[in-house]
Structure 1
Amino acid sequence: MPEKLPVYRIPDFTAARALTQGFHVVDLQTHRQKHAFVQAPHKHDFYLLLYLRQGRGTHTIDFTEYPIQPHSVFFLTPGQVHAWDLAPDTQGTLLFFSPEFFPNGQETEKLRQFPFFRAWQQLPLVTLSAAEAAPVEQLFQNLLQEYQTPQPLQTDALKSYLHLLLIQLLRLYPSQSPLSGSTTWPFQLYQLETLVERHYREHRPVSFYAQALHLTAKYLNELCKENLGKTTSDLLQERLVLEAKRLLIHSPHLNIAQVAQALGFDDNSYFSRFFKKEAGRTPEQFRRQG
């Protein structure tokens, strides 16, 4: 089903630069001047870090609006929808990288061991004190300087600085987690998140995911409740509702029946009942209230 929401890739911002594949870092004001279109809602196929040194405004990620505060870092994973409304004097740094760029070519599941890349349940934001922000800002500056000056082994240096930055942010992040604050997850939950992304439109039962992970449905449910505070069914329903919201707001060319069909619902009325139960409004009401 066609979707009009733009999905940007790193080359969309680096067309004139043949330096490093899968990576880009830039001053925020420079980026906004060159790419004004990024203020409108859109997706990326890469990971994004946004460090805000100072400024005012809001940053909206998948229908949650966050006020801008100094010394904040936002984290986005591929596929999330975001938009910002920033004051002209807002200053900071943007960093993009593909999963393949991560040191040693690690898989996406490895990146999700960083709590801020667990898009399901964790806050996509950490707000630092001035003292905490100093080493983080220095690493962003190191990345900018390295990126702007071609040198031997430049890609290796960028990967090393990126890994150090993520480790530093992980050490500052746990105390702000809405859950236990643990920085480790059972590996099965990384696999579950990947499976749900592949199959959520198919409305598979919990037993399908449990079998794929070589677990019993009961044990998988216990893992979810212990680590996420929700059942496996809750997670499956939340993922469907999030995609329904994205399509209702960002694909206005689709009518409600087409949205239902795109999400694997054969019965439009059943989709409407499901959405109202989970979101508190009918699809029509949600679209109108935007």
Structure 2
Amino acid sequence: MRGTTASPDTPCAASRRGEPPVHRLEVRLPDDVPFAVGSFDTIGPMSRATFPHRHTFYEIVHVTHGTGTHVVDLNRWELRPPHLGLILPGELHHWEDVHGLDGSVVLFTPEFLVDHPGDQDLLRRIGARPWLRLDPAEHTRTGRLIAELSEEYGHGHSGFATVLRSLLHVLLVRTARLGGPTEPAVPPGRPASVADAFTRLIARTDADGAAAGPRSVRQCAELLGVTPGYLTATVRAALGRTPAGLLREARTREAQRLLAHTQLSIRQVAARTGFDDPAYFCRFFRRETGMSPGDFRKHHDHRAASIEADPGSA
């Protein structure tokens, strides 16, 4: 399929030793459009991967048939189609004990959303409830819209990227509605753009797909060209949370992923999440989760045997 993801012989980009593999989106030439849509079969074998891996792109799945479980980070979603699900960049996911999996897959990078910057906020809201069971009417509407995306993508006529972005925007708006009442609108103007840029910043992944966002409010403010006080006020107004709290949440979530899905030592997990002192990392993790890193790993051990650990890990 033209514009699909990585081929079967090279399904993932190389990742750091001991960490889950990273999947990147190959763009369609000559247009360089970072978008793909198709069935599980046409997108390729990685769309049904049974081992934990992460993406540098967004993935929307419309599951029409199948049994088994979809695992995203520490959440396990039993398949009772039809479903609509979202996997965010950096999240670890895989399919477990799945039979007869069928449906559609929509893939796109954050850069693809250039025409609709507000879609970042929609994706954040959908990400709070990323696995939805559809009623018959919702299922029909979703399937019809994804079919339009697939048709436009397959033809590749002049201006197709703009049409794809518009159809994707409609899909995101409708999906956000399915999650329940919409949140209050973000105040217009610069505060909204700063809050949106902040959420993208802390969700940023590095070249290996691992979390690579700034580690402090001051660092974030400097990168965004505002003062820490202004950043705190605008993020609180737009999102109802403080930047410091969201940063702690992002670091904790990445540490949980690495503890549950890799064989990295606790010292290595601390280093990967920006802690120079493993003892401080353990105190931080216990304060945020109520468990030590070691106890958390015992309760949430989903490490894949195929993932190789670093030699000489502490």
Is the shorter-chain TM-score for this pair beyond 0.5, marking a shared fold? yes
User: Aligned partners of 2:255, 2:135: CA distance in 1, in Å?
Assistant: 37
Does 2:292 match 1:282? yes
User: Aligned partners of 2:47, 2:243: CA distance in 1, in Å?
Assistant: 40
User: Aligned partners of 1:249, 1:258: CA distance in 2, in Å?
Assistant: 13
Deviations 1:108-146 (A, max 9, x none): 955403x12458x62223443222332321122233344
Does 2:21 match 1:6? yes
**What runs of 5+ residues in structure 1 fail to find an aligned partner?**
none
TM-score normalised by length of structure 2: 0.72
User: Aligned partners of 2:241, 2:151: CA distance in 1, in Å?
Assistant: 43
User: Aligned partners of 2:39, 2:178: CA distance in 1, in Å?
Assistant: 28
Opposite residue 66 of structure 1, the aligned amino acid is: W
Structure with the bigger percentage of helix? 1
Counterpart selection for 2:202 from 182, 185, 196:
196
Counterpart selection for 1:80 from 91, 100, 117:
91
**What runs of 5+ residues in structure 2 fail to find an aligned partner?**
1-15, 205-210, 302-314
2:214 and 2:220 in contact (8 A); partners too: no
The residue aligned with 1:235 is 246
1:9 and 1:44 in contact (8 A); partners too: yes
The residue aligned with 1:64 is 75
Does 2:123 match 1:116? yes
User: Aligned partners of 1:19, 1:31: CA distance in 2, in Å?
Assistant: 19
The residue aligned with 2:138 is 132
Q: Secondary structure at the match of 1:4?
A: coil
Q: State the identity as a percent.
A: 29
User: Aligned partners of 2:79, 2:47: CA distance in 1, in Å?
Assistant: 19
Q: 1:137 to 1:201 in 2, by over 3 A?
A: closer
User: Aligned partners of 1:232, 1:51: CA distance in 2, in Å?
Assistant: 33
2:23 and 2:55 in contact (8 A); partners too: yes
Opposite residue 54 of structure 1, the aligned amino acid is: H
Does 2:183 match 1:181? yes
2:112 and 2:165 in contact (8 A); partners too: no
1:175 and 1:181 in contact (8 A); partners too: no
Q: Secondary structure at the match of 2:52?
A: coil
Q: 1:224 to 1:69 in 2, by over 3 A?
A: farther
| Coordinate RMSD, CA, aligned | 3.4
User: Aligned partners of 1:24, 1:200: CA distance in 2, in Å?
Assistant: 25
Q: Secondary structure at the match of 1:138?
A: helix
Q: 1:144 to 1:86 in 2, by over 3 A?
A: farther
TM-score normalised by length of structure 1: 0.77
